[in-house]
Amino acid sequence: MKAMVLRNVCDLRRNMSPLSYELVAEPEPGPDDLLLDVSVCGVCHTELDEIEGRTPPRTLPMILGHQVVGRVVARGAAATRIEVGARVGVAWINSACGKCRQCLAGTENLCGEFVATGRDVNGGYAQQMVVPERFAHTIPASLSDAHAAPLLCAGAIGYRSLRLSGAGNGKRLGLTGFGASGHLVLAMALRRFPFMEIYVFARNPEERAFALELGAVWTGDTDARPPVALDAIIDTTPAWKPVLKALEALAPGGRLVINAIRKEHGDRELLARLDYPAHLWLEKEIKSVANVTRSDVREFLTLAADTGILPEVREVPLEDANTAILDIKRGIGRGARVLRVA
């Protein structure tokens, strides 16, 4: 089968083609697995973290991709819940132990044996992949393959971030960074909480204009100060500077939710400027988001289908995955990139 393969971690500023287009062996499903013919796979900022070594693959070579939509073409003997021919999605969570305290409490995203699709096992930048049946998600009929793909990560992690922010009707929510996840959080928040005000911080003028189109009441650069203090802010950027700026913009008792699997190292010296009175006093708090659970994915897919939440997507062929990765690195374009595989 054809696949885009990562063979070595690298600096994308020096190697602009980190993935190679190759013929590789077709995967074989285990007893509990489904074998999928991949239709599309979304491109996520986390792939940059994998390629550049901030969250490196468990082994190399590795096939990246964790926003996968495909059809079941075979299944293992113990996989009996999902029929051959069904359309399913695969998210970042590929498996967890199912036995530890975290799994039993419903926080399987914090399991010590958490396995990530496209990092710990091969993902969806390929014509076929396998997934444990328990971690495959039925796609609602109203969602196209391309629209469903970003919902599996950008949407689901945004859904979890919004819940953790504590924001609701009458609150002021800030979004720092406005890529694939940010624009879905804005759409989701306004559908669930029509009396919420949303403020967007983004470097790219095109992204700021897009946020206003979607219903933001104010936009500004990452350094900008909003006209009012905010009750909650969700940060989806890879940098540290927006964290400090967000803390400055929070109202007393406000919460900053950091939705990033890793932060880049280049500007971490900015943390030395953390000032307790300006950034943390008056009961401000910081909470990180770690992965997603199966219930996050399934609840958000249902919400998106029921309320008409659709991401803005740009499809590119599988063999152009390097271009899509670089677009995200450079902040080019708006919405989500989706690889068309089949």
Q: What is the pLDDT of residue 10?
A: 96
Q: What is the pLDDT of residue 331?
A: 86
317/342 Cα distance (integer angstroms): 9
Q: Under 8 Å CB-to-CB from 14, ≥6 apart: which residues?
A: none
* Residue pair 90/43 in contact by the 8 Å Cβ criterion: no
122-169 confidence digits (pLDDT tens): 999 999 999 999 999 999 999 999 999 999 999 999 999 999 999 999
Q: What is the pLDDT of residue 270?
A: 79
- Looking at CATH, the fold of the domain delimited by 156-288 is given as Rossmann fold (3.40.50)
* Residue pair 119/60 in contact by the 8 Å Cβ criterion: no
Q: What is the pLDDT of residue 273?
A: 85
- The series of mean pLDDT values per 10 residues for the chain, 342 residues long, is 98 95 97 98 96 96 98 97 98 98 97 98 98 98 98 96 95 93 93 96 93 96 95 93 94 96 78 87 95 96 95 96 95 91 92
Give the pairing of strands 136-138 and 87-90: antiparallel
Q: Coil, strand, or helix at residue 173?
A: strand
Q: What is the pLDDT of residue 317?
A: 98
Q: What is the pLDDT of residue 278?
A: 87
- Could you tell me the two tokens for 8? 């070595």
Q: What is the pLDDT of residue 199?
A: 98
Q: What is the pLDDT of residue 263?
A: 84
pTM across the whole model:
0.93
Give the E-state strand segments of the chain in sequence order: 2-6, 19-23, 33-43, 68-75, 87-90, 93-95, 115-116, 128-132, 136-138, 172-176, 197-201, 218-220, 230-235, 250-258, 285-288, 313-317, 336-340
* Residue pair 316/338 in contact by the 8 Å Cβ criterion: yes
10/293 Cα distance (integer angstroms): 30
Other beta carbons within 10 Å of 83:
8
**2-138+312-340: in CATH 3.90.180.10:** yes
User: Does residue 331 come out as left (phi exceeding 0), alpha (psi in the -120 to 50 range) or beta?
Assistant: left
Q: Where are the domains of the chain?
A: 2-138+312-340, 156-288
Q: What is the pLDDT of residue 14?
A: 93
Q: What is the pLDDT of residue 267?
A: 76
Closest CA relative to residue 201, chosen from 227, 171, 184, 223:
223
Amino acid found at 179:
G
Q: What is the pLDDT of residue 18?
A: 98
Q: What percent of the chain has pLDDT above 90? A: 89
84/274 Cα distance (integer angstroms): 54
Q: What is the pLDDT of residue 232?
A: 98
* Residue pair 99/155 in contact by the 8 Å Cβ criterion: no
Q: What is the pLDDT of residue 332?
A: 86
